[in-house]
A and B are shown apart, each in its own frame.
Chain A
Amino acid sequence: MSVRISAMSVLPPVRRDRIIAQLPQYFRKEAALHTKEDFNNKVKTACQEQRTGTVGRFKISKVIVVGDLAVGKTCLINRFCKDAFDKNYKATIGVDFEMERFEVLGVPFSLQLWDTAGQERFKCIASTYYRGAQVVIIVFDVNDVASLGHTRQWLEDALKENDPTAVQLFLVGTKKDLSSPAQYAQIEQDALKIAKEISAEYWAVSSLTGENVREFFFRVASLAFETNVLAELEKSGTRQIGDVVRINSNSSNVHTTSKKKQPNCCQ
């Protein structure tokens, strides 16, 4: 009466437009997490070799999206996850959540996107939601210098709950469509400076037009995936990765006696 794994199937294939075969490139060279042209070789080899199901290990990363009220955190996520843009503002209560599935180098990989509320009222609970984040996306409005200024505070709050050395940071300017090239150029200088200081990768996007949104999330997924695989490879020096450990209290070995006849299943 054991659970036959083979009776289960993996989820339907990842959406075609969520397949990443090559490392998406950074937005600005001066503020990038790294500037290599392709995935780390070790990672590529691991993904190629691990055709036998041992890969699923590094399959999930928690991403939190923080930033001032109304800078467009929810819009950014909705543009990517639902390809939708709602002009009406609706404050997020507590947090919103999306799960986005990718396939990176042939390996399934998911991002848990936690879209936190910018409202002061929810600051006290934010730390609960920050815990365990591997990627922090700090969002500001490129038309609102103050929101850029506040990003340091957001970062500090987010890192309180996490190991700062283990977190990948992204600084994202939104509403690019609303700013003139000159205005934008100016704030970009400041943003790049902050990004470099806090070791974040900088991006500027428009959720209205969709400019750079997809590129940005692909980059996030790829870098998070790469980091996960590398960390896993390092850890698994001695241990065989990929053993599925099952905590299943009712499996086949649990017979009361050896000779007892199995009743037919009556239900």
Chain B
Amino acid sequence: MALQGPEELGEQVEEPEELEDASSISPAEEITLPAGPGGDEEPPEEEALLLPWDRFSAWLHCICVVGFDLELGQAVEVIYPHHSKLSEKEKTSICYLSFPDSNSGCLGDTQFCFRFRQGSNRKSSLGCFLETTDRDAPPCLKREQGHYYGYVYFRQVRDKSLKRGYFQKSLVLISKLPYVTFFHSLLKIMAPEYFEKQEPCLEAACNDIDRWPTPHPGRILTLPIMGVVIKVRIPTCYDKPGTSQLVQSAQSDSLVSIVLPTIHEVDLFRCFYPVFFHIQMLWELVLLGEALVVMAPSPAESSDTVLALVSCISPLRYSSDFRPYFTIHDSEFKEYTTRTQAPPSVILGVTNPFFAKTLQHWPHIIRIGDMKQAGEMAKQMKVKKLKNLKTLDSKPGVYTAYKPYLNKDEEIIKQLQKGVQQKRPSAAQNAIIRRYFLELTQSFIIPLERYVASLMPLQKSISPWKNPPQLRPFIQQDFMKTLEKAGPQLTSRLKGDWIGLYRNFLKSPNFDGWFRNRRREMTQKLEALHLEALCEEDLQQRIQQHTEVESVDLVLKLKDKLTQAEKEQLPVRPGTLAKLKSHIEAVILALPDDLQGILHKPSTP
């Protein structure tokens, strides 16, 4: 269906044919998904076991207040809840990253986000539980492993009563969850109240959060906070990409109830507007994990743009490091800016003009101006693709010597330009870009998926009495051969050097991350199939033919299998594990009494 016009997109009215069973429709408040993976409405049993602050910890690591002390400079004034742990190094990172660089002005309220390395490896007792809730999340929405996100609400207003002449403070949410839109909405509710009412407000808000259901993908979550209820649904990896399941009702009363249609998607159009002629090239750069820096006038713009870049290859997960807002105080500053090595595979968002010099040698630089004046810029962009022009006052644009592998898709540019002329709403433009990226990424990844699926051993090669068969190795040449017949040409009309693009991609961290994930899934699948095969066997008969020692060995092996299956949540058919347990039990019972006693003891961890 072709795009018709602006009015259809921004606030879209349900089409009549979709209302065929209208009797069962009511706005989002009442809508849930059919029961399925994570789709059931009742809170799961495991949540009953949660202790105080566990629910809070499932969402946030802590909340920090960062202020400016005349003697000390930026300082973490409050950490809430008080028992939260942050190393000194982490605190320092949070301090610097929670304030805009002094040059960026930012009077009034500003929101942005940053990401920093987790200092010490703290193990949470919740870890295991959170892993299982994370299992159904799409790759790009999984909990971060070695990093935290900081979501910032910064306020800077003139205040003559203060020595510095300004009130400057940030409320910062520290979390491992990449739900940027959600946390920004949350801060919009919390921060202004906090600045007015101080600590009791934090206490109450944290208490609200500690009553939330855990962030389980697929469920409609009702999250009361400061007198408002936020409704969200965390997508699952089973969702059809590019769809959204939460429907916003027309008259939802924002004082009482807020429905967030997305928890993580940034407005791609707004972010890419200053450089939209180059979006396809940017997609390639991100896909290949090239070193990229975004130079923006403020952290809000740098962080939005970096997040937009990272998300443009969704549903692929961007596997390298990225820093929506990076400062010269960052602990990785030296590591990332050194000239003795090639620039690392990272995406940095910076605002300090100092970086224009420090990162001069970087291969790809995106400069964006003030997004508010974006309307003016679109025209000049066409001719702007400069090389080696990296002075402070360089104009917005993409500075690179990179030559894209794929031919430029003129259609999408025309479509977006037309949208600009027709003043199509930003939401509609955003949707166009999002779909464009999705289709491009899918066209690119489908051949890989297909090839990797072919690495799976045949079902008949699975024998219950042998180890599960190994996945066949990924052989680049073999894969490349499949492209002739089943390459991206099947789903994309874009021409160009796809082969070159793949060749380069296979060397990138993104491929590595993707393949590792696939391999783990497939190995687990093999383990699961093996386990199912084992459960179908007649074990009684088998042990009769074997010695006692062998039977004991079998019990131990089966017990191991069971533990592994439970720990890794192997994708076995329902009932398999129960069957395995009864098998183990039966084998034990067939053994002499003294051995039974020993084998029945719970294994020591």
**What are the interface flags for B134-162 relative to A under an 8 Å C-beta threshold, 1 for contact and 0 otherwise?**
00001000000000000000000000000
Q: Closest approach, in angstroms, between the C-beta of A208 and any C-beta of chain B?
A: 24
Instruction: Decide: B431 and A108 in contact? CB cutoff 8 A.
Output: no
Q: What separation, in Å, do the CA atoms of A242 and B342 have in the docked complex? A: 59
Q: Which residue of A lies closest to B22 (CB)?
A: A53
Instruction: Decide: B431 and A249 in contact? CB cutoff 8 A.
Output: yes
* A129 in the interface (beta carbon within 8 A): yes
Contacts of B427 in A (CB 8 A): 247, 249
Instruction: Decide: B31 and A10 in contact? CB cutoff 8 A.
Output: yes
Chain B interface residue count, CB cutoff 8 Å, equals 87
Q: Closest approach, in angstroms, between the C-beta of B82 and any C-beta of chain A?
A: 14
Instruction: Decide: B227 and A114 in contact? CB cutoff 8 A.
Output: yes
Q: What separation, in Å, do the CA atoms of A255 and B439 have in the docked complex? A: 10
Q: Which residues in window 159-196 of B have CB below 8 A to A?
A: 193
Do A5 and B14 form a contact, CB below 8 Å, given A246-B247, A250-B435, A260-B493? Answer: yes
Instruction: Decide: B13 and A245 in contact? CB cutoff 8 A.
Output: yes
Instruction: Decide: B255 and A247 in contact? CB cutoff 8 A.
Output: no
Instruction: Decide: B31 and A110 in contact? CB cutoff 8 A.
Output: no
* B197 in the interface (beta carbon within 8 A): yes
* B574 in the interface (beta carbon within 8 A): no
Q: Closest approach, in angstroms, between the C-beta of A33 and any C-beta of chain B?
A: 21
Instruction: Decide: B250 and A245 in contact? CB cutoff 8 A.
Output: yes
Instruction: Decide: A246 and B248 in contact? CB cutoff 8 A.
Output: yes
Q: Which residue of A lies closest to B25 (CB)?
A: A53
The stretch that binds A, out of B68-76, B202-210, B346-354, is: B202-210
The stretch that binds A, out of B55-63, B92-100, B235-243, B550-558, is: B235-243
Instruction: Decide: B249 and A254 in contact? CB cutoff 8 A.
Output: no
Q: Which of A62, A125, A132 contacts B204 (CB 8 A)?
A: A125
Q: What separation, in Å, do the CA atoms of A255 and B242 have in the docked complex? A: 11
The stretch that binds A, out of B256-264, B299-307, B466-474, B593-601, is: B256-264
* B404 in the interface (beta carbon within 8 A): no
Instruction: Decide: A247 and B12 in contact? CB cutoff 8 A.
Output: yes
Instruction: Decide: B14 and A245 in contact? CB cutoff 8 A.
Output: yes
The binding surface of chain A is classed by DSSP as loop
Q: What separation, in Å, do the CA atoms of A258 and B4 have in the docked complex? A: 11
Do A266 and B442 form a contact, CB below 8 Å, given A1-B242, A129-B227? Answer: yes
Q: Closest approach, in angstroms, between the C-beta of B265 and any C-beta of chain A?
A: 7
Q: Which of B207, B261, B262 contacts A94 (CB 8 A)?
A: B207
- Please classify how large the interface on chain A is, using the bins under 10, 10 to 19, 20 to 34, 35 or more: 35 or more
* B211 in the interface (beta carbon within 8 A): yes
* B49 in the interface (beta carbon within 8 A): no
Instruction: Decide: A244 and B204 in contact? CB cutoff 8 A.
Output: no
Do A244 and B30 form a contact, CB below 8 Å, given A112-B256, A257-B411? Answer: no
* A238 in the interface (beta carbon within 8 A): no
Q: Closest approach, in angstroms, between the C-beta of A180 and any C-beta of chain B?
A: 38
Q: Closest approach, in angstroms, between the C-beta of B339 and any C-beta of chain A?
A: 40
Q: Which of A243, A264, A266 contacts B14 (CB 8 A)?
A: A243
Given A54-B22, A245-B250, A248-B12, 4 additional A-B pairs, CB 8 A: A8-B245, A99-B222, A249-B434, A267-B241
- Which residues does A use to contact B, with CB under 8 Å? 1-12, 51-57, 59-60, 62, 93-97, 99, 108, 110, 112, 114, 117, 121-122, 124-125, 128-132, 243-258, 260-267
25 interchain pairs, CB-CB under 8 A: A5-B25, A6-B24, A8-B31, A53-B26, A54-B22, A93-B207, A94-B203, A94-B205, A112-B256, A124-B197, A125-B197, A125-B226, A132-B227, A244-B13, A244-B250, A245-B12, A246-B247, A250-B244, A254-B434, A255-B2, A256-B435, A260-B439, A261-B490, A264-B442, A265-B442
- Which residues does B use to contact A, with CB under 8 Å? 1-4, 8-14, 18-27, 29-34, 41, 138, 193, 197-198, 200-201, 203-205, 207-208, 211, 222, 224, 226-229, 237, 240-245, 247-251, 253, 255-257, 261-262, 265, 315, 411-412, 415, 427-428, 430-432, 434-436, 439, 442-443, 445-446, 449, 490-493
